[in-house]
Amino acid sequence: MQTKLIEFKNKCGETLRGIITAPDKKPRAAAVFLQGFERNATVEKKSKMTAGELAERGIVSLRYDAAGCGLSDGDFSKFTLNGRARELSKALEVFQKEFGGLKINFVAHSLGMCPLALVLNEIKPLINKMVFIAPALNQKDLMRFYFVRDSMKEEKRQAKITWDNYKQYLDEGKFLQDCARAGKMVRENYINPDYFMEAKDFDFSHNFDEIKEKVLHVHGEFDLSVPLESLNVKFPNRIIVKGGDHDLERPDFWGQWFSQAVEFLTE
């Protein structure tokens, strides 16, 4: 197995970095890893361990970090889904210059499926298999769920907000005002309103309907960040991790899905 660091520029001229993990022999297929919201694909266990296993089975992979995350330069506050989609297209262009002609697997966590959905039509012929881990495809409803949950915490109200009841507490007008609000802080970064204003109307749940059989959906039973019920689609290949959270990297969760995901991508 061999690894190397690559660098390329996004549309804004920011330097993005990624790691290529290659088998010692000529690869028979490829894989690309896509990160979640403020996460990184280069060093997270899900991507790093899977890349190593795929290399052992003859598959070359790229795991790169989006602008403002992990190894990459850039300003996270300018994050948008369309921006991430453009970065994905550029990453595929760079990757294919070296490993063109190979079918590509995708392994995406959480929000990582959204840029893939945005470029799906242009890359569909390249796709072999896809593993979706806690897919945050239904941005439209998830954003409203987060707004209600966060608002209740700020107001110190005692109501327990769940996916089943959040809509009864939703004030759509206040939600739209909040989407347009500047200076918003997420977990680790400030973020401009552009992301919220575009994503508030996106539901990508059915974008993959024509190729659902190529998807393995992995989801934690108790995912509080992206509840399983948020998906408006049921993929035929699915693993529900008992007791599982959003990241699914704890050893007791890992053992329930990792080997099956690798087999799915390489069988």
Q: How do residues 81-92 score in pLDDT, each as one tens digit? A: 999 999 999 999
Give me the pLDDT at residue 157, please: 75
End residue of a domain, out of 166, 183, 202: 202
Cα separation values, 129 from 82, 115, 208, Å:
23, 16, 12
80 and 192 housed in the same domain:
no
Q: How many structural domains comprise the chain?
A: 2
Side-chain-side CA neighbours of residue 52 (13 Å): 9
Over pLDDT 90: what percentage of the chain? 93
Q: How far is residue 196's CA from residue 179's CA, in Å, rounded to a whole number? A: 5
37 and 146 housed in the same domain:
no
Q: How far is residue 196's CA from residue 80's CA, in Å, rounded to a whole number? A: 8
Q: What CATH number does residue 23 fall under?
A: 3.40.50.1820
End residue of a domain, out of 165, 183, 202: 202
pLDDT beyond 80 at 156: no
198 and 209 housed in the same domain:
no
- pLDDT, mean of residues 126-131: 97
18 and 73 housed in the same domain:
yes
34 and 116 Cβ atoms separated by less than 8 Å? yes
Q: Which of 38, 33, 65, 37 is nearest to 49 (CA)?
A: 33
- pLDDT, mean of residues 34-59: 96
Give me the pLDDT at residue 186, please: 87
End residue of a domain, out of 186, 202, 218: 202
Cα separation values, 194 from 6, 39, 144, 173, Å:
29, 19, 16, 18
Q: What is the pTM of this model?
A: 0.95
Q: How do residues 199-215 score in pLDDT, each as one tens digit? A: 999 999 999 999 999 99
Q: How do residues 182-203 score in pLDDT, each as one tens digit? A: 988 888 899 999 999 999 999 9
123 and 108 Cβ atoms separated by less than 8 Å? no
55 and 153 housed in the same domain:
no
- pLDDT, mean of residues 251-262: 98
134 and 150 housed in the same domain:
no
Give me the pLDDT at residue 187, please: 87
37 and 166 housed in the same domain:
no
Give me the pLDDT at residue 8, please: 97
Backbone angles phi, psi at 163, to 5 degrees: -65, -30
Domain with 19 in it = 2-138+205-266
